[in-house]
Amino acid sequence: PEHPSTPAATSSGVDEYYMSFLVDRVAHAVVAADAARRPAKLALAIGSMPSNTQSCWSSYPYIDDQAMPVMQARDESGHVIFTLADVSTHAETFAFSGVPSYVTTLSADWPGAMRAALQARWPGSVGVEVAGMVGSVETPTVYEPETTQVLRVPGAFHGVAGNPDGCSSVYPQPSSGTPVSEARQFIAAYGRSVADATAAALAKGHVVTPTVLQGQHSSVCVQLENNLFVAAAAAGLFPDRPLYADPGCTVGAPLSGSVAPPGESSTSGSTSGLPPTWLKTDVGVVTLGPAQLAYSPGEVFP
């Protein structure tokens, strides 16, 4: 049966107690990792998404990037310290499966299965998944056996049967193979496929001894164009995100008068008659030898 409509929230859904706990634990983990660091070499490679996966999209344009950057560190004895893969799909298998018991299950989803596979391949190491260009790129369809080849030549936009979350793709159906439609089985199959693709890329990777570690960070001010978000901010649903009245994010914006009028549907503050509102966010780059990791907020399109 369908769930009843969820009423509009009048308070933030952010649990401040939990967020404080999480930040503290993450900070301690970083300090502990720093204390345990040791000299290492890096293997770097640009792999590809597993060949048995069929990309899916939720909105136009259907932009895809099959590249999968990977990185692995080995100490002076040759033992693997960590393996990192940058994968450009969401982790949402249980959330959109439509199975009530799955939707309410706390899970690491397919990144958990990927990490487990990497750590089983290299015992004593840590597997790390980084979400890459995930904007509109949804849970892919995965085919077994893993040797299945999906032809990545764009064609007509069409529905794809057998995906646990539902799928629409521009790539044709493979000539063989069976889609993994059950959510738990999908998580295991996709995680394993990504781990195997990571290992295959690293086998041809470029090994370097990094001599440079540099971090750069900058704050940027962006205009909030979604009037529903402006209204939500005015209602106090984003308690930790102050609003600004200027494009330099130096003058705080008053909450009163910022809410869109009833029935207002415009998505642009500049055309709705509302005063423009800005938010402050951050971008950053870490340079590690010849490798760079860039951070930007939001779901970036490929």
pLDDT tens-digit profile of 258-288? 444 434 443 444 445 567 889 999 999 999 9
Contact 158, 178 (CB under 8 A): no
Are 187 and 108 spatial neighbours (Cβ–Cβ below 8 Å)? no
DSSP 223-270: E---HHHHHHHHTTS-TT---BSSTTS-SBPPSTT-SPPTT---S-TT
Q: Which residues of 42-54 are buried (b: 16+ CB within 10 A; e: fewer)?
A: bbbbebebbbbbb
| Average pLDDT value over all residues in the chain | 88
How confident is the model over 86-144, as pLDDT tens digits? Answer: 999 999 999 999 999 999 999 999 999 999 999 999 999 999 999 888 888 899 999 99
